[in-house]
Amino acid sequence: MKYDDYLELYKTKTFESMNLYFRAREIFPGGVSHNIRFFKPYPFFTRKARGKFLYDVDGNKYLDFWNGHWALILGHSPSKVTQKLRKQLKSGTLYGTANEVSFKLGWEINKAIPLAENTRFCSTGSEATMYAIRLARSASGKRVIAKVEGGWHGFNTNLLQSVNYPYEVDEGLGLIEDEGHFVESLQFNDLERSLKVLESIKDDLAAIIVEPVLGGAGCILPKNGYLHGLQEFAQKNGSLFILDEIVTGFRFSYGAVMDNLKLEPDLFTLGKIIGGGLPIGAVCGKKEFMKLADATVEGDKSTYCSIGGGTFSANPLTMKAGYHTLKTLKKDPTIYENINNLGEFTRTGLTKILNEMKIKAEVTGIGSLFMIHFLNDKVRSINSALDAALSNKEMLNNYNLALMANHDIFFLPGKMGAFSNAHDKKDSMKLLNATRSIFENPGNVKPS
């Protein structure tokens, strides 16, 4: 089949979604409630999700490798969590007061990640990173935040810079130029260049914020020494080192990547997995810095950093879902073994198939995360967000459409995939076989 055939097939099987999408465009800008959820020609509309499957309004059932923005490590609606949520529904959905279950989740995080000496819950990852940089500015008395090109920390205004290629161009309207002066961009994995930039802004450098694995920018691993180099510079300079572990926290093992890499961030952010499928964000870190968020101290507002929480922070539904997700992960270490093995098996399998078919591609990832990048004359290997951005994205989107249209396999087009504990080896084999069949004729996924 050719690209146009996949397109026709997708349209034929998603007629109801198409109707809904065009009606949704009247209600929502772009027809969606998150920019990345749109893909061409239009997204299917999900009716329900269970285990490893998404079911759309047209009756299609997709094997899901997107897993709710990679948040659902146990799959969709795992019974160990939903049973507890059903019970919680009877006891209240939003207390708006201090509550015991938030203490339980906070305590679990504290035991799993020693540097979570203190935690403040909020409702999204974007909020968590916004709080982290406000705390860093309070603690350091400085203003500039360094982030990496392609680094994604959510839609908080402060960090909405150099996210999408071309990095020097504004991320959109509504951003004030003056604010941009307080954010500086570094090139991921190029320590020498990054240190040069940091040196030039060191007097006003409040913090460096970085994901330990670039997630949204293409599932890119840090080179040896890169993150340590940034941490060392920040901490010697009296600036804070912030790790954004919103994707990586509890993704590869019971804890955070900072422990595996022996990093010691001053602050870090969590989200996704710790919410067990419900909205969450958390800023955590050393007491020395987190204590600035203590608004109970005597004094006026000049003595603390107002980082909030919000109406829905620490709501009992999210706290219960998060707590029972972590408990499930802690109790059964085979979960990490299983999903990490699936990731490894799939990366190896995809690489082998693409090599055999003489498709120039690189498969990146670690543990249960993986992504294919199609290479071209400009990009021969993937080390940074720039490499990922300049790789053959059109081919990737077309491959993702082919998987959806003809094989009922869903990746959010252009984004990395993740295994959950609902997946097994048969799912990996299904993906490998589908990939082989799509590339049997290399012209298949190119537009005609």
Binding site for ligand PLP (CB under 6 A): 69, 124-126, 129, 152-154, 211, 215-216, 244, 246-247, 271, 281
Least CB distance to ligand PLP at residue 222 (A):
13
Q: For ligand PLP, which residue has the nearest CB?
A: 125
Least CB distance to ligand PLP at residue 418 (A):
12
Least CB distance to ligand PLP at residue 186 (A):
16
DSSP β-bridge partners for residue 148: 186
Q: Name the residue nearer to ligand PLP (CB basis): 7 or 122.
A: 122
Q: Name the residue nearer to ligand PLP (CB basis): 131 or 439.
A: 131
CA distance 180 to 433: 46
Say whether the peptide bond before residue 166 is cis (omega within 30 degrees of 0): yes
Burial class (CB in 10 A: 0-12, 13-18, 19+), 259: middle
Q: Name the residue nearer to ligand PLP (CB basis): 194 or 318.
A: 318
Least CB distance to ligand PLP at residue 69 (A):
5
Least CB distance to ligand PLP at residue 176 (A):
21
Least CB distance to ligand PLP at residue 70 (A):
8
Q: State the chain's maximal CA–CA distance in angstroms.
A: 71
Least CB distance to ligand PLP at residue 99 (A):
21
Which two three-digit tokens encode residue 194? Answer: 């990054």
Least CB distance to ligand PLP at residue 265 (A):
14
Contacts 24+ apart (CB under 8 A), 255-261: 255/112, 255/113, 256/112, 256/113, 256/115, 257/212, 257/213, 258/113, 258/115, 258/212, 259/113, 259/114, 261/212, 261/222, 261/227, 261/228
Which two three-digit tokens encode residue 264? Answer: 């010691």
Do residues 151 and 209 touch, judged by C-beta distance below 8 A?
Answer: yes
Q: Name the residue nearer to ligand PLP (CB basis): 78 or 154.
A: 154
Q: Name the residue nearer to ligand PLP (CB basis): 152 or 252.
A: 152
The total number of residues shown for the chain amounts to 448
Least CB distance to ligand PLP at residue 31 (A):
19
Q: Name the residue nearer to ligand PLP (CB basis): 349 or 413.
A: 413
Contacts 24+ apart (CB under 8 A), 177-185: 182/143, 182/144, 182/145, 182/158, 183/144, 183/145, 183/146, 183/147, 183/158, 183/159, 184/144, 184/145, 184/146, 184/147, 185/146, 185/147, 185/148, 185/149, 185/161
Do residues 273 and 71 touch, judged by C-beta distance below 8 A?
Answer: yes
- For residue 258, give the H/E element and its range: helix 257-261
CA distance 165 to 246: 22
What sign does the CA torsion over 318, 323, 326, 332 have? negative
Q: Name the residue nearer to ligand PLP (CB basis): 153 or 407.
A: 153
Least CB distance to ligand PLP at residue 71 (A):
8
CB atoms within 10 A of CB 34: 11
Quote the radius of gyration of the chain (alpha carbons, Å). Answer: 22
Q: Name the residue nearer to ligand PLP (CB basis): 281 or 316.
A: 281
Q: Name the residue nearer to ligand PLP (CB basis): 56 or 244.
A: 244
Q: Name the residue nearer to ligand PLP (CB basis): 69 or 373.
A: 69
